[in-house]
Each structure stands twice: as structure tokens, then as C-alpha cells.
Amino acid sequence: MKKTIIIKGIKGNDFKIDPNDKLSVKIAMLFEGHCTIGVYEAIKKYGYTEQRYYQLLKEYNKKGSEGIRDKKRGSNKRPVRNKEITNQIIRHRFLDTEASTEVRSQKLKQNGYNVSVRSVERTITEYGLQKKLINLTLKKKKKIK
């Protein structure tokens, strides 16, 4: 568990900050670095790099506290392969087992589903729907005998 961050106040009135409150920690670091103990002492105290300190300072100067708030990570795009498209890919795989992924992708596009060849390949691989090579090798062995 992290220790409570304390900013020394006048007349013994210290200001305590919960280390789990990321926004308060960042603001306190910027405040102390800019106004009281200096940048190097502040980054040492709060465990940030100098580069990150100046990134946060720049964002704070541009947008205020909203600029330094932790943002949701990852892509903002909606995933292409939702449940309906996944079901359609699997359906097309069973309807025409000999068709290539390019043909399946084209059929889905014709039906109004915007899905790439790569997405079709991923879905087929994830659900283990590739052609089984064991059957092909057994057929070859039977022909040889």
C-alpha cells in the first residue's frame, strides 16, 4: 500500500493526499514542482520522470485538470467483428466449405457487412474452422497404396 502524500503547510497544517487519487497526485506534483520544492525534488517525491512532468505541465496549461486526467486506454473505434458478423462468417464457412476467405469476404460485403478478408481469416482461425490437414494426408496415403 502506498503512503499518504503530505505537502507541508504553514503552522503545522499539512495537506494530505490519497496516493490512489491520480489527478490530485499529478496536480500536487505540478504545484510543488512549480511553486515550492522545485521540479527535481517533486519528480523524485512523486516518482515521475522529468519528461512526464513537463508533458503533464504542458497539458495542464492547455486544458487544465481535464488535460491531465487519466483517459481510457485502447482504441476508440467500435470493433468490426461483432456477434452478428461473426455468426455470418461462421455461417458462410459451413454453407460453402470450398470457398476461400476472399470469396467469403466478398459475399459478406454483398450482403451489406463491411468485413475485411483478414477479419474473416481471424474469425475462422479463432473458432478452429480451418480445413483439417489430417484428412488430406490420409487420402494421399490411401492413393499411394
- DSSP letters spanning 13-67: --EEE-TT-HHHHHHHHHHIIIIIS-HHHHHHHHT--HHHHHHHHHHHHHHTHHH
Q: Is the pLDDT of residue 135 over 90?
A: no
Q: Where are the domains of the chain?
A: 5-68, 83-131
Q: Is the pLDDT of residue 136 over 80?
A: no
Q: Which of the four pLDDT bands, split at 50, 70 and 90, describes residue 6?
A: confident
Q: Is the pLDDT of residue 143 over 80?
A: no
Q: Is the pLDDT of residue 139 over 80?
A: no
Report the helix count and the strand count for the chain, using DSSP H and E: 8, 2
The highest-confidence range among 3-7, 62-66, 74-78, by mean pLDDT, is 62-66
The mean pLDDT of 101-106, rounded to a whole number, is 89
